[in-house]
Amino acid sequence: MLKFKSIISRFLAIFFVSTLSVYSQAESTVITIKSDENAPVINKHIYGHFAEHLGRCIYDGFFVGDNSEIPNTNGVRNDIVEALKKLQIPNLRWPGGCFADTYHWKDGIGPLDKRPTIVNTWWGGVTEDNSFGTHDFLNMCELLGAEPYLSGNIGSGSVQEFADWVQYTNFAGTSPMSDLRKENGREKPWNVKYWGMGNEAWGCGGNMTAEYYANEYRKYATFVTDWENTGSVVRIASGASSDDYAWTETLMKNVPAKMLGGLALHHYSVIDWNKKGESVDFTEDQYFGTMSEALKMEELVTKHSAIMDKYDPAKKIDLVVDEWGGWYDVEKGSNPGFLYQQNTMRDAVLAGSTLNIFHNHADRVRMANLAQCVNVLQAVILTKEAKMILTPTYHVMEMYKVHQDAKLIPIKFVSPLYIYNNKSLPALNVSASKDSKGLVHVSMVNVDSKKENKIEIDMNELGVKSITAKVLTSKALQDHNSFENPTKIQPADYKGFEVKKGKLIVTIPPFSVVVVEGK
Ligand code: AHR
């Protein structure tokens, strides 16, 4: 009876875990990999980041002010700029999040002593002095070489205010707003391309129904424009939370396609919103829970894309996952409204897996933003006074940057299972691409917390002669970089592969990320 029960539960687990394929427990997993001229390019904007006026992301994070002893350029930390440039960060979303729908951009321009203070009602009730505003952010993006992605205020703003912001940042000629910009010291427009039309309109952005928001969107989009509709302004609609497919359906149905550059999606890997668990001191059960939520991204992008396909079969509208990542309890002793958390190997596995999913859906997912960049949620950078550390998530993004703007190589395989407590998940996830120099990269994640897994690829199919590899691994899932030991987790050259009879066999240690480069 017991045996029968366990067979049944195993079968159910296999059935429910993923849309990928059927599963096997073979010695090594054979990957079929085949270049396809018609395959999409992996848009570099999938590697975007997010910087909200939340906790220590902007103030005491990116921005320390130009009087700080920490080396800075116009108040922005030089070490952060250097680290993010190394990541080739393609875009940065600002000023929120929930904060965006409370933000009035005119509060953050002009002489500092004339800027009003406001209260950051969403995040800790702290007083915001508006010392970091539009100029600071857009100039910082120039320093980073990243495209700005501005989230406009629909929840508590007005159409006029939003349209003025576009004119202020983008209009070269003479106009009230461009003259004001010039008075404030900036002659040339910044030409901001990406505009978020509110944020989480179903929640903190105004608790709107999808139908109501669709109407609001149409009205705002009419005035948030490049005036000639040349496509230089890309409007991104506030999208669904996780599996709210009705939201996507309603927007796609009610907003004319030509008004929609992108449709957003937010999904956080949270085990339980009332009991999120600690960021470092977590159990295997919690690890399994986080990874189940993270791997759900496969199903979410598949199903949201299918709805978009109905209304936009030519796939012109981008699916923009502009908030994703792990969300745990805040660090003990830190402000609960500041969402400061550590970042471990769990986050590395989460990031590698999510990016693999995005790559494999590159035909529709063309932009994404990890939440958030510095000192908030699944940050790539943590700071403490003058110190700065790079998290395991940073290292995954650095290892994976080779995929930016490279052509996807479709792959097929049957994943073994990561079995825990009678539940299971696909143990392996993989994606591959070929860059403009002809280099082939395959990124592989082993989600299994205990078992190593092997992957086998035909060298001829891969179309390469020689292989090098890098790995991100550590002894314990909970391992992380700290201010005392900032380089505990770092990518290393990897020799855990062999080429035998024309087959490349890569061993992937438990909870590790490997990127193989083929020439
Ligand atoms: O990233 C933190 C918050 O999560 C954002 O402000 C909001 O959009 C989401 O609910």
Dump pLDDT digits (tens) for 240-288: 999 999 999 999 999 999 999 999 999 999 999 999 999 999 999 999 9
pLDDT confidence of residue 226: 77
Mean pLDDT of the chain: 94
Torsion over CA: 243, 244, 250, 252 (sign): negative
Closest atom of ligand 1 relative to the 203 alpha carbon: 10
Say yes or no: CB of residue 368 within 6 Å of ligand 1.
Answer: no
pLDDT confidence of residue 24: 45
- For residue range 173-219, what is the model confidence (pLDDT) as tens digits? 999 999 999 999 999 999 999 999 999 999 999 999 999 999 999 99
**Ligand 1 geometric centre to CA of 49 (Å):** 13
How many CA atoms within 13 Å lie on the side-chain side of 279? Answer: 26
Model confidence at 159, in pLDDT bands (50, 70, 90)? very high
User: What would the DSSP string read from start to end of 98-113?
Assistant: GGGGG--GGGGSS-GG
Task: Answer for the pair 373, 381: CB distance below 8 angstroms, yes or no.
Answer: yes
Q: Which SS3 state, helix, strand or coil, does residue 280 take?
A: coil
The residue count of the chain comes to 519
Angle at 447 (CA atoms; ends 442, 450), nearest 5 degrees: 125
* Three-state helix/strand/coil letters over 352-387: HHHHHHHHHCCCCEEEEEECCCECCCCCCEEEECCE
Average of pLDDT values for 6-23? 38
Domains identified in the chain and CATH numbers: 26-38+409-518 (2.60.40.1180), 44-405 (3.20.20.80)
User: b/e string for 64-84 if b means 16 or more Cβ within 10 A?
Assistant: beeeeebebeebbbebbbebb
pLDDT confidence of residue 27: 79
Q: Which SS3 state, helix, strand or coil, does residue 313 take?
A: coil
Query: Catalytic site residue 323?
Result: yes
- For residue range 427-476, what is the model confidence (pLDDT) as tens digits? 999 999 999 999 999 999 999 999 999 999 999 988 899 999 999 999 99
Any residues with CB less than 8 A from the CB of 45 and at least 6 apart, and which?
90, 91, 147, 366, 367, 368
pLDDT confidence of residue 232: 85
Residue 15, token pair as written in the block: 């059935």
**Ligand 1 geometric centre to CA of 51 (Å):** 11
Nearest to 104 by CA among 92, 119, 124, 123: 119
Task: Answer for the pair 446, 508: CB distance below 8 angstroms, yes or no.
Answer: yes
Active-site residue identified among 52, 128, 147, 200: 200
Task: Answer for the pair 357, 429: CB distance below 8 angstroms, yes or no.
Answer: yes
Query: Catalytic site residue 249?
Result: no
Q: β-strand 91-94 against 76-77: which pairing, if any?
A: unpaired
Spatial distance between the Cα atoms of 222 and 215, rounded to a whole number of angstroms = 11
Spatial distance between the Cα atoms of 350 and 394, rounded to a whole number of angstroms = 12
Inform me whether the pLDDT recorded for 17 exceeds 50: no
Q: Which amino acid, 251?
A: L
